[in-house]
């Protein structure tokens, strides 16, 4: 290990992670024309990298800033002048940069510019020890949704050009786990050989609209150091038909069989974990339809994060950067006391809540999620939790924007992980005014409160949520229905929305910001994941002595 006296540390990792080398890209500006599909043979992909991976991590901000040591020659494009290439070691060098809409910057992957803005923002709020963790810089993406366009002879599988619906082929994406790139090449080969027609948005014709590739690195049959590079790919084909009985279903089955025959468990590669189909005929921009079908391979998809095994169906939300998410969860665990009562809002398949239930022996965990498709994944994950868990665990298919206070009361810790747009208005209002609420018994189980409610749609929503809930372990009888949460943990993937929500919470005087951490979930972009810990402000009791009345 080389430890220079500067703000960048360089670690050489030999035979731990796989990274397929590609020729250094020229420093000259790329044409905006989408690159042609690279004729990369799937069957000649190397098993191990031909040079070591270099991961850059940020040293403490107090370290002296001096010139960085020269990087290995293979990591930087050849310099054409003294100012042509920045003297930075953490370079993207992707042949598709500036063509697709994925990565937005090419250098300093370990520390995007937005980190300095975040550090200054939190310093202005009294948090001077903001930290930023960076994991893998290349091959980090374990989940990708790609559009399929072009023709059967020349299929384009990739992302849209910025501001357009023109698909850029990205066979050599440096962000993708290498096995996603390999699976894409196998899919491309199948499309050509079987004459599968990619989707035509203008005409609404064609067969294959999108593909979702998800990598599982949880293969306990392999040593831990080999699991990441040998991850297998769950392939979900978004098919342009109403269901599996449509006229083009023969082509779907033929493509699935091709993938499995050449990449499944009996192939030399054993690259493919499973093949699924999703049926979508809508003309809007929504990728997935409501109908799913498992075609081939293993039905259950498992990953290990936050100390537990988690199950994720292709319809469930999953973090793209598995390793960074695991780091975030382990950091989050430090702020939840043992035996706490936790409410996990925007819970998805309940990964965060179940991770806390297992590692912190929580008294109770409530997971609230609006997407009903996440329920099966939650149930499968619960089945693999340690049998020693004695607390109450429940999952509720409900909208947190409806009567949010009823989900907050009775919990010691609230965890919120909203989409990029941030918190719903009703939830932020409930959090802002939480200290002034006169808490009543939960509306979800109180018949007296139901009688007071005048809006029938709210009643229907509550009843539906109750019917859609899942209860594991003992009934929640140890919660104090009069108590209010002391800790709020906010996980954000949208920096701008987080800043607004954070300011709103602090301006209400109900919450104080105690800690903040950043995570590099999307190297090559200006997006960061933020973990912020708030503590509820408690009103100080007046202790002054009463003045005696003068006679």
Instruction: Give me the phi and psi of 129, to 5 degrees please.
Output: -105, 35
Q: Which residues have C-beta within 8 Å of that of residue 39, sequence separation ≥ 6?
A: none
Whether 51 has a binding-site annotation, put simply, is no
Is 94 among the residues known to form the active site?
Answer: no
Determine contact, residues 128/140, Cβ cutoff 8 Å: no
Nearest Cα to 156, choosing from 89, 165, 531, 453? 165
Residue where the block lists tokens 């403490």: 60
CA distance 336 to 415: 10
Using CB atoms within 10 A of its CB, is residue 128 exposed (0-12), middle (13-18) or buried (19+)?
exposed
CA distance 104 to 100: 9
Interior angle at CA 54, CA 53 and CA 55, nearest 5: 120
CA distance 464 to 375: 14
CB count within 10 Å of CB 247 equals: 7
Whether 319 has a binding-site annotation, put simply, is yes
3-state secondary structure string across 235-287: EEEEECCCCCCCCCHHHHHHHHHHHHHHHCCCCCCCCEEEEEEEECCCCCCCC
Whether 335 has a binding-site annotation, put simply, is no
Whether 452 has a binding-site annotation, put simply, is no
Which helix or strand (DSSP H or E) is residue 138 part of?
A: none
Determine contact, residues 248/206, Cβ cutoff 8 Å: no
Tokens of 40: 């990369």
Q: Which of 100, 367, 493, 502 is catalytic?
A: 493
Point out the residues that are catalytic.
493
Binding-site residue numbers are 319, 346, 369, 417
- Provide the annotated binding site for S-adenosyl-L-methionine: 319, 346, 369, 417
């Amino acid at each position: 290990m080389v430890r220079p006296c500067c703000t960048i540390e360089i670690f050489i990792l030999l035979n731990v992670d796989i990274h397929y080398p590609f020729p250094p890209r020229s420093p000259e500006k790329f044409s905006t024309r989408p690159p042609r599909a690279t004729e990369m043979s799937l069957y000649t992909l190397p098993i191990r990298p031909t040079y070591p991976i270099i991961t850059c991590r940020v040293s403490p901000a107090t370290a002296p800033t001096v010139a960085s040591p020269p990087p290995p020659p293979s990591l930087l494009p050849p310099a054409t002048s003294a100012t042509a290439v920045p003297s930075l070691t953490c370079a993207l060098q992707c042949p598709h940069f500036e063509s697709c809409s994925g990565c937005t910057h090419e250098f300093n992957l370990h520390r995007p510019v937005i980190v300095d803005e975040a550090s200054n923002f939190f310093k202005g709020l009294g948090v001077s020890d903001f930290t930023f963790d960076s994991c893998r810089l290349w091959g980090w993406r374990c989940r990708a949704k790609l559009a399929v366009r072009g023709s059967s002879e020349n299929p384009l599988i990739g992302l849209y050009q910025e501001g357009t619906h023109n698909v850029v082929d990205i066979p050599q994406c440096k962000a993708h786990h290498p096995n996603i790139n390999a699976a894409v090449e196998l899919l491309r080969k199948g499309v050509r050989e079987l004459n599968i027609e990619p989707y035509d948005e203008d005409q609404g014709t064609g067969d294959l609209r999108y593909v979702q590739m998800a990598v599982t690195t949880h293969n306990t049959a392999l040593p831990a150091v080999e699991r990441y590079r040998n991850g297998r790919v769950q392939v979900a084909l978004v098919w342009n038909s109403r269901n599996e009985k449509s006229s083009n279903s023969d082509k779907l089955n033929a493509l699935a069989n091709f993938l499995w025959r050449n990449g499944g468990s009996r192939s030399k590669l054993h690259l493919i974990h499973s093949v699924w189909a999703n049926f979508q005929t809508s003309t809007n921009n929504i990728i997935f339809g409501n109908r799913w079908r498992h075609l081939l391979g293993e039905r259950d998809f498992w990953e290990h994060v936050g100390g537990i095994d988690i199950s994720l169906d292709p319809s469930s939300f999953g973090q793209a950067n598995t390793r960074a998410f695991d780091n975030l969860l382990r950091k989050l665990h430090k702020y939840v006391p043992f035996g706490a009562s936790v409410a996990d809002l925007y819970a998805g398949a309940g990964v965060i809540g179940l991770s806390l239930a297992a590692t912190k022996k929580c008294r109770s965990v409530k997971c609230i999620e609006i997407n009903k498709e996440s329920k099966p994944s939650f149930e499968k994950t619960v089945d693999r939790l340690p049998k020693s868990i004695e607390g109450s665990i429940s999952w509720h298919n409900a909208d947190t924007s409806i009567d949010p206070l009823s989900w907050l009361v009775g919990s010691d810790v609230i965890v919120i992980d909203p989409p990029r747009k941030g918190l719903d208005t009703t939830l932020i209002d409930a959090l802002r005014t939480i200290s002034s609420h006169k808490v009543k018994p939960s509306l979800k189980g109180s018949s007296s409160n139901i009688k007071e409610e005048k809006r029938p749609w709210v009643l229907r929503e509550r009843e539906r949520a109750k019917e859609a809930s899942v209860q594991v372990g003992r009934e929640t009888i140890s919660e104090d229905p009069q108590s209010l949460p002391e800790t709020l943990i906010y996980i954000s993937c949208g920096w701008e929305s987080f800043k607004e929500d954070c300011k709103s919470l602090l301006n209400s005087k109900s919450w104080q910001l105690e800690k903040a951490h950043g995570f590099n979930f999307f190297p090559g972009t200006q997006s960061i994941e933020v973990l912020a810990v708030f503590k509820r402000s408690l009103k100080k009791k007046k202790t002054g002595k009463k003045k005696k009345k003068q006679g």
